[in-house]
Structure 1
Amino acid sequence: MRAITISNDTRISRSPEEVYDYVTKPENWVGTHPVTVAVRDAPEGSAVAGTRWIEVIGAPGTLDEGGYDTEWLATTSVPGHTWVIETDRLRFDGVRCQIVYTLMAEGSWTYFRRDMTVLVAAGADLDPVLEKKFMEDSAHPGDSVHAGYLAAVKAALER
């Protein structure tokens, strides 16, 4: 099994609770995360542990640029501190993904960290363009779409 981890962090001039409330609402992903085309079946508010929803991911340059559905499950929700979401199928069978959001108060700021780990089972297919992008993002996290997502969250909350 191969594992690819992409980690990004930032500091946001809001409380951990405010940041948590924003990032745990899947509806906020559209327009904030660069590859989120749409979100379906999402809760009205924060996705607490046990909540499932669909994200339509449109990854430019991949086999299906029109987007593909990914069903997420919130597995951990500790308001103002930790949120973990997982999928057992990131576009292809045998490709799992876990995203861990960690928040900590630092004076009047919140330290916000996002760790995304993609696990590819032996023999599983992974779009070569997508795999290359994941590898580039893990080697240069500051230039990734994931860093762009954190920057967009920061901008949305600090305006």
Structure 2
Amino acid sequence: MAETTLTNEILIAAPPEKVFDYVSRPDLWHEWHPASKSAVLPRVPLQRGDAFGEIITVTYPFIKISRKTEYRVTLSERAKVWEVQGSSSLFSLTIHYDFFSEGATTRFRRTLTYRVQGLLGWFEPVVVRPKMRRQSAFALSNLKRKLEAG
């Protein structure tokens, strides 16, 4: 199956350091990303090369998929860039975050690149991708609300 890339951007009224320190904590992803249920970290902050696991749950019509995903941090430069690569029995993915300072705000860009494996891959364009698009946009609006609320 082919790779799919989804990019979302949002302006957050917070400095890049604050945004970075929050979003680079996968144990807090469940607070703003609807698919994230839990993550266990070896330390905080995570550094390049660190590995961690996360439970991801996505509900589609007639099916709920919950999988443990194993990640490795591949890039980490505070307030500039952060990236992880992960895989489970159903997919492989890269989550890449960019942070751009714009005065007192941060332009936060989240790029998700994924490849669905197995039978679900055949339904990726009509079932998986639309769900991922909605979920990614919703996650960033949650993130903005969370960080701007204090």
Q: Same fold (TM over 0.5)?
A: yes
Q: Kindly provide the CA deviation profile for residues 89-109 of structure 1, in whole angstroms up to 9, marking residues without a partner as x.
A: 2332xx421111000101111
TM-score (norm 2): 0.87
1:128–1:2 CA distance, 2 compared to 1 (3 A): closer
Q: Structure 2: where are the runs of 5+ without partners?
A: none
SS of 2:138's equivalent?
helix
Report if aligned partners of 1:35, 1:58 keep a CA contact under 8 Å in 2: yes
RMSD: 2.3
- AA aligned to 1:108 is A
Q: Kindly provide the CA deviation profile for residues 64-122 of structure 1, in whole angstroms up to 9, marking residues without a partner as x.
A: 626210011110001000001101x2332xx42111100010111100000101135xx
Report the count of equivalent residues. Answer: 148
Structure with the higher strand share, 1 or 2: 2
Partner of 2:25: 25
Partner of 1:15: 15
TM-score (norm 1): 0.82
- AA aligned to 1:158 is E
Partner of 2:47: 48
Report if aligned partners of 2:39, 2:53 keep a CA contact under 8 Å in 1: yes
Partner of 2:89: 91
For 2:119 and 2:88, locate their aligned partners in 1 and report how far apart those are by CA, in whole Å.
9
Q: Kindly provide the CA deviation profile for residues 98-151 of structure 1, in whole angstroms up to 9, marking residues without a partner as x.
A: 11100010111100000101135xxx415259723442257xx4xx11111111
SS of 1:2's equivalent?
coil
Q: Structure 1: where are the runs of 5+ without partners?
A: none
- 2:104 is aligned with 1:111: no
- 2:118 is aligned with 1:125: yes
- AA aligned to 2:101 is A
For 1:73 and 1:37, locate their aligned partners in 2 and report how far apart those are by CA, in whole Å.
18
Partner of 2:80: 81
1:52–1:10 CA distance, 2 compared to 1 (3 A): same
SS of 2:64's equivalent?
coil
For 1:34 and 1:129, locate their aligned partners in 2 and report how far apart those are by CA, in whole Å.
24
- 2:138 is aligned with 1:148: yes
For 1:108 and 1:72, locate their aligned partners in 2 and report how far apart those are by CA, in whole Å.
32
- 2:35 is aligned with 1:38: no
Identity of matched residues, %:
27
